[in-house]
């Protein structure tokens, strides 16, 4: 007991004499006296060795000692900072280090914008698998086996099962939706498609399309035109003109391809529009009655229109991108240019 009191005396002196001049000295002090293995804790553990009749007296002395040790630290904590606080040399008003934030891929930006524009007209997003079967990609769309139009789309077939293929267009999603939903149907299907083409600045073995389908009573070609005109004006601005050219797709009748005035040259002629002043952006038409009947929809009661556009083409015109390969080369110098959302 006497020994303990002597120890306490010398610690008291040490506390009084210690100069807590900076954050480091304060921290060393805190650990030595107040830490979980510090002197104060240890002294309290000595209580058990103190004779019962002196416990009360020793307890008081210890409590006072603890207060002394703590108050010394409390005095400087505010100014030099405690263990969790910064030292005073930190300038908290300095600007932070910038964190590099990634950017969205241009294809995603354009896809999202397309979905947004059609969303305002009540079109919901529908999706389907990229590995399709022959039925959904061709036969259901009025392209029976041996139909010459199958050759237009250089298809990748899956070796294991020749009935499987990589979808050549997002029209396969039309088939899936008609299979499961009843009119009125108003959907937009964005997605990746595959064709066995030699990769160049103008062609790639995979690209993106966005299909639209609207089936209801009294849907006319005028609705198709107005819907696409609205889309073009929202996407490219009010000054852009559209024109329709008759075309052929097995699943639409009549069919038309739609061009817009070339945004690269403004219509005066350049290499992108092949000097014509117009660029094709989509295929479209009135849903073929046979296609509706394929899915048990009464083609006397219902009519519909469909269209399919290439997302890369829209992106090319929007951002003036002259080489399709740039989209998939992952060159950050290209990718980081698309910081703003459309
Ligand atoms: N699926 C056609 C293509 O890939 C585009 C299209 C879609 C045409 C819908 C008409 C209607 O070229």
Residue range 308-330, pLDDT digits in tens: 999 999 999 999 898 999 999 99
For the CA of 168, the closest atom of ligand 1 is: 4
pLDDT at 65 (0 to 100): 92
250 lines ligand 1 (CB under 6 A): no
CA of 157 to the centre of ligand 1 (A): 20
CA of 285 to the centre of ligand 1 (A): 8
134 contacts: CB under 8 Å, gap ≥ 6: 145, 163, 164, 165
pLDDT at 247 (0 to 100): 96
55 contacts: CB under 8 Å, gap ≥ 6: 47
CA of 305 to the centre of ligand 1 (A): 11
Q: Is 260 helix (H, G, I), strand (E, B) or coil?
A: strand
Structure tokens at 59: 């307890």
CA of 278 to the centre of ligand 1 (A): 19
The mean pLDDT of 18-43, rounded to a whole number, is 89
Q: Where are the beta strands (DSSP E) in 110-216?
A: 124-125, 131-133, 164-166, 185-194, 206-216
DSSP state of 12: H
Q: What's the mean pLDDT when you consider all of the chain?
A: 90
What does each C-alpha distance from 253 to 118, 170, 250, 283, 306 come to in angstroms? 23, 18, 8, 12, 10
The mean pLDDT of 158-165, rounded to a whole number, is 90
Structure tokens at 282: 């989509």
The mean pLDDT of 5-15, rounded to a whole number, is 91
Take atom 5 of ligand 1 and give the residue whose Cα is closest. 308
285 lines ligand 1 (CB under 6 A): yes
308 lines ligand 1 (CB under 6 A): yes
pLDDT at 125 (0 to 100): 97
Give me Rg for the CA atoms of the chain. 38
Lowest mean pLDDT among 99-103, 124-128, 232-236: 99-103
The model's confidence at residue 81, banded by pLDDT at 50, 70 and 90, is low
242 close to 279: Cβ distance less than 8 angstroms? no
For the CA of 282, the closest atom of ligand 1 is: 5
| CA pair distance 237, 23, nearest whole angstrom | 62
DSSP state of 313: H
CA of 307 to the centre of ligand 1 (A): 6
pLDDT at 128 (0 to 100): 96
Indicate if the pLDDT at residue 341 is higher than 70.
no
CA of 202 to the centre of ligand 1 (A): 18
Sign, Cα dihedral of 9, 12, 18, 22:
positive
pLDDT at 144 (0 to 100): 80
Take atom 12 of ligand 1 and give the residue whose Cα is closest. 283
pLDDT at 260 (0 to 100): 95
pLDDT at 86 (0 to 100): 56
137 close to 188: Cβ distance less than 8 angstroms? no
Element (H, E) at 73: helix 55-80
170 lines ligand 1 (CB under 6 A): no
Helix 221-236 to helix 106-119 angle, to the nearest 10 degrees?
Answer: 130
239 close to 203: Cβ distance less than 8 angstroms? no
Which percentage of the chain shows pLDDT scores above 90?
A: 65
283 lines ligand 1 (CB under 6 A): yes
Indicate if the pLDDT at residue 281 is higher than 60.
yes
| Mutation pick for ligand 1 pocket among 172, 193, 211 (CB with most ligand atoms within 8 Å) | 211
| CA pair distance 264, 175, nearest whole angstrom | 35
CA of 211 to the centre of ligand 1 (A): 7
CA of 238 to the centre of ligand 1 (A): 25
pLDDT at 152 (0 to 100): 66
Which residue is listed with tokens 């934030």?
Answer: 101
The model's confidence at residue 304, banded by pLDDT at 50, 70 and 90, is very high
Question: Is the model more confident about 82 or about 224?
Answer: 224
| CA pair distance 209, 171, nearest whole angstrom | 9
Element (H, E) at 210: strand 206-216
């Amino acid at each position: 007991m006497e020994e303990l009191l002597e120890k306490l005396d010398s610690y008291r002196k040490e506390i009084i004499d210690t100069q807590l001049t900076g954050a480091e000295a304060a921290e060393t002090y805190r650990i030595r006296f107040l830490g979980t293995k510090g002197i104060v804790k240890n002294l309290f553990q000595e209580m058990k060795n103190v004779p019962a009749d002196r416990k009360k007296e020793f307890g008081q002395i210890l409590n006072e000692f603890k207060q002394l040790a703590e108050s010394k630290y409390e005095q400087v904590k505010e100014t030099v900072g405690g263990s969790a606080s910064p030292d005073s040399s930190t300038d908290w008003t300095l600007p932070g280090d910038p964190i590099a934030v990634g950017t969205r891929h241009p294809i995603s930006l354009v896809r999202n914008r397309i979905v947004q524009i059609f969303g305002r007209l009540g079109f919901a997003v529908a999706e389907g698998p990229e590995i399709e079967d022959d039925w959904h990609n061709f036969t259901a769309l009025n392209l029976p086996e041996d139909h010459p139009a199958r050759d237009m789309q250089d298809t990748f077939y899956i070796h294991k099962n020749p009935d499987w293929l990589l979808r050549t267009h997002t029209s396969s999603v039309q088939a899936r939706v008609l299979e499961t939903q009843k009119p009125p149907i108003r959907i937009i299907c964005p997605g990746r498609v595959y064709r066995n083409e030699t990769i160049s600045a103008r062609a790639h073995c995979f690209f993106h399309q966005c299909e639209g389908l609207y089936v209801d009573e009294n849907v006319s070609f005028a609705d198709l035109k107005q819907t696409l005109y609205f889309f073009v004006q929202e996407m490219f601005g009010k000054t852009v003109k559209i024109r329709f050219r008759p075309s052929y797709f097995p699943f639409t009748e009549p069919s038309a391809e739609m061009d817009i005035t070339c945004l690269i040259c403004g219509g005066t002629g350049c290499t992108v529009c092949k000097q014509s002043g117009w660029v094709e952006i989509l295929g479209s038409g009135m849903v073929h009655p046979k296609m509706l009947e394929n899915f048990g929809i009464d083609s006397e009661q219902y009519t519909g229109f469909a269209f399919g556009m290439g997302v890369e083409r829209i992106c090319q015109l929007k951002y003036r991108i002259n080489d399709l390969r740039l989209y998939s080369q992952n060159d950050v110098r290209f990718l980081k240019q698309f910081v703003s959302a459309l």
